[in-house]
Structure 1
Amino acid sequence: MALPFPDLWLSRRMGLADGAIPSRAEFEAWLADRLAELVDHARANSPFYARHLDGFDGASLRSLDDFSKLPMITPDLLGAAPERLLCVSQDEIARVVTLTSSGTTGIPKRVFHTGEDLAATTEFFSRGMANMLGAGETALVFLPGERPGGVGRLLDEALSRFGARAETFGPLEDADAALDRCLDLGATCVVGSPAHLNLLALAYARRGPTHGPIRSALLCWDTVPDAVVRNVAGIPGCRPFRHWGMIETGLGGGVECAPGSGMHLREADVYVEIADQDTGRLLPDGEFGEMVVTTPLRRGMPLIRYRTGDVGRILAGECVCGSPLKRLDPQVRRVGDGVELGAGVLRLDELNELLYGLPGVGDFAARFDPRFEARRATNRLSLTICGQVEREDVFAALRTLPGVAASLDCGALELEIQLRDGRRPAIPGLGKRRLDTGSER
């Protein structure tokens, strides 16, 4: 029987003989050794890490528990002076990526990748994508791909290793045009953000009895709501797979080996701990907390216990595929991704499931404005809904959320709903869906 793709990838990454799959205990012993080597490398080559990790060395790190005692680093380092994290000459850097958070005025983060980093991501993509399409087939990619080291080019190189190809369409701007291109190419796989692939699924539904060749879809780039997974599964014959990754860690971070199984983490390259966001205490599998990541084999710009600002959890138990790699719950969200409405709290994940779950809704954008009047605080939630849906149906659905209903009833909240064309995204480009607030202008 063929081995699951996570195991094939892990065996190669650990330098094992083909088909030799480690137990979880064997993998963790190997990982602890790599983390110890990483700490020594960082302390020897980065003045920042030499100070930050003063008092620690590889010899003192005999287990993952020992490693968890190291101090964390925060994202502001990638904005203020990312060069301080470099452990190689800048001549060895193949690509520098600048990250600007949508809706904020913070300093953009910069991340440095070596050629070896990009090659490792390509290898992971190749193993994972081989689970979704085969030789001679095409994936249509709704992500950037024009620059060297961009995700589109990495995917095309990854697919070429097993005889498939990727065509980069770029961010979806018109769902009907995107669907036409899918059908023209005979694409058997589509790759894109949840919002864009949800719009594509809606275009299929509008088209009626169209049965294209799409058999799989990789949902990535942003949080993937369950409602979107269900909608994409409505494309005739299509199996959706979810992916989690960060540009800081070299994109690929975790992907489902089978729909609904949870996302197998790329632990040899992206080691994930779950910590209490207030105390830093590690949490057991099954509990939600802040995701803290380390890049064990990365030598150019290693991240050691990097606080991501994402909330997630490791699923308890073993996957049905038997892989020793742990699985991330697909429901990843941002720390503080919620707003106080006046008589309750609204979280973005609630809004995602509710609105993408409404028939006919392709996409949405949300803005929350706290406004203060003479006698009381009045908050406004403004929604732009792209799709074929009645304003009254959106309003009625929102009232099923207790925090929204209570805030409306006591006069602390007003709703503004605008309807738009269901072919186009509510937010241009690849902006992530979030609850924009008045303080982020």
Structure 2
Amino acid sequence: MALPVLDQWLVRRMGRADKLPPSKDALREWQLARLRTLIAHAQANSSFYARSLSGVDPASIRSPEDFSRLPTVSPDDLREQPERFLCVSQDDIARVVTLQSSGTTGQPKRVFHTRDDLEATADYFDWGMRNLVGPGQTALVLMPGERPGGVGRLLVDALSRSGARAVAHGVLEDAGAGVDHLLAEEASCIVGPPAHVHLLAREWERRRLPAGTVCSVLLCWDSVPDALADNVERIFGCRVFRHWGMIETGLGGAVECAPGSGLHLREADVFLEIVDPETGSLVPDGEFGEMVVTSVLKLGMPLIRYRTGDRGCILPGPCRCGSPLRRLDPHVRRLAAGVAVGTGLLRLEELNEALYAVEGLSDFSARLSGRTLHVLVCGGNGVGERAKRALASLPVIALGVTENVLQIDIEMKNDAAPALPGLGKRRIVIDREL
């Protein structure tokens, strides 16, 4: 019986001579050994870690609890002189990514990747995508593919290794053009941000194109609402997989083994801890907390115990596929993904689930200006009224309207463009941030 594809990747990445997947305990011991090596490497070669990990004996790290007592790295640390994290010469850096966080006007983060880092990601993409697209099949990628080391280019290169093909469409600007491209390339798989794939699905539905042409979809780059995933699955009549990853740790982080099973972590490269955001202590599997990540084999610019600001949960128990890789709950959210509206906190995830469940709604954006929540809704006739009723079903909005501390303004847009341009992660915009 063939090993699950991610177990095949794990065996190769760990360099196991017996070609058999490790037990969970053996995998954890391998990770701890790599972490000890990483700490020593960072102490010796990075000015940041020489100071922050001063006095830490790598040999003392014998358990996850030992590791969890090390200091964390914050996004602000990364914004301030990111070169201090480097453990190699800048001549060894193949790509630098500049990240401006949503709603932040200060100094951006800069993340450095070596050629080995980019190759490791391409290798992971190759194996992780084999559940979605096979030899001779084509995936349409709703991301740019021109920049070397960018996610689109890495996917194009990765899929060619297994005999599949990826075509980079670029950032979706028009759903009609996207569907035309999908049909022209005879693509059976779509990879892209949830909002853009949903817009594509609604255009597919509007044209009354048949289900079954698209066989699989990978939703990535941003959080995935359940209502959106359900719509995409229903309209295309296919399996919908979810992905979680970060540019800071090398893009790929976890991918769904099978729909509904949870996201298997990229544990040979990314060590994930779930901690209480207030105390920093580890929480048990099955409980949500802040996601703290360590790039285990990323030696050029390692991040050791980086606080992501994301809220996540490790699913307890084994996956039915039998893999030793731990599973991430698909409902990864930002810890601070809400805005105060006078009667409480309105969370983006609540808007997502309420509005993507609206019949015919293609996309939306939300902006809070004073006491008014402006919602731009994309869709056909009647969508605006249905969206208004859906918003009124949310308790925090209903109470705010009743107590006259919140007003709702619905604006309709019925073209095929996304509600928000570009690849920025979706959020509720507050006017004072602009």
TM-score, normalised with respect to structure 2: 0.97
* Offset, 1:18: 5.9
Letter in 2 for 1:439: R
Cα pair 2:201 2:236 within 8 Å, conserved: no
Unaligned runs of 5+ in 2: none
Deviates more, 1:286-295 or 1:339-348: 339-348
% of aligned pairs identical?
59
CA–CA separation in structure 1 for the residues paired with 2:173 and 2:34: 43
Amino acid at match of 1:403: V
Q: 1:212 Cα shift? A: 6.2
Moved over 3 A (4+): 209-212
Query: What residue in structure 2 maps to residue 432 of structure 1?
Result: 425
Q: CA deviation at 1:422?
A: 4.7
Q: How does 1:282-297 map to 2 (within 5 A)?
A: 282-297=282-297
Task: Name the residue aligned to 1:302.
Answer: 302
Residue number in structure 1 paired with 2:266 = 266
Give the Cα separation in 1 of the matches to 2:27 and 2:154: 27
Do residues 380 (structure 1) and 375 (structure 2) align?
no
Aligned length: 433
**Aligned-residue offset at 1:225:** 0.7
Q: Within 2, Cα distance between the matches of 1:18 and 1:107?
A: 48
- Whether 1:396 aligns to 2:389 is yes
Partner amino acid, structure 1, of 2:284: P
What displacement does 1:192 show? Answer: 0.4
Q: Which structure 1 segments of 5+ residues have no match?
A: 371-378
| Corresponding position of 1:23 | 23
Q: Distance in 2 between matches of 1:422 and 1:36?
A: 54
C-alpha displacement of 1:62 = 1.4
The whole-number CA distance in structure 2 between the counterparts of 1:338 and 1:147 is 33
Q: Helix, strand or coil: the match of 1:197? A: helix
CA positional deviation for 1:338: 1.0
**Residue deviations 1:386-420 (CA, integer Å, cap 9, x gap):** 11243222111111111111111011100111010
Return the alpha-carbon distance in structure 1 between the equivalents of residues 47 and 425 of structure 2: 35
**SS of residue matched to 2:131:** coil
The amino acid of 1:130's aligned partner reads R
Matched, 1:117 2:110: no
SS of the residue 1:59 aligns to: helix
Deviation at 1:214, TM superposition (A): 1.4
Partner of 1:373: none
In the alignment, structure 1 residue 353 sits paired with structure 2 residue 353: yes
With 210-219 and 52-61 compared, the bigger mean Cα shift is at: 210-219
Partner-residue secondary structure (3-state), 1:77: helix
Range with greater deviation from structure 2 (392-401 or 106-115): 392-401
The answer to whether the 8 Å contact 1:183/1:213 transfers is no
Matches within 5 A, 1:57-96: 57-96=57-96
| C-alpha separation in 1, matches of 2:184 and 2:211 | 13
Give distance in 2, aligned partners of 1:174 and 1:2.
Answer: 41
Question: Aligned partner of 1:102: which letter?
Answer: S
Q: Is the 8 A contact 1:202 1:362 kept in 2?
A: yes
- Contact 1:111–1:248 (8 Å) recurs in 2: yes
Residue type matched to 2:44 in 1? A
Kindly provide the CA deviation profile for residues 72-119 of structure 1, in whole angstroms up to 9, marking residues without a partner as x.
010112222100000011111110011112332121110000001011
- What's the offset of the Cα at 1:316? 1.2
SS of aligned partner of 1:76: helix
1:23-422 alignment, distance < 5 Å:
23-211=23-211, 213-370=213-370, 379-388=371-380, 389-422=382-415
Q: Which amino acid aligns with 2:198?
A: N
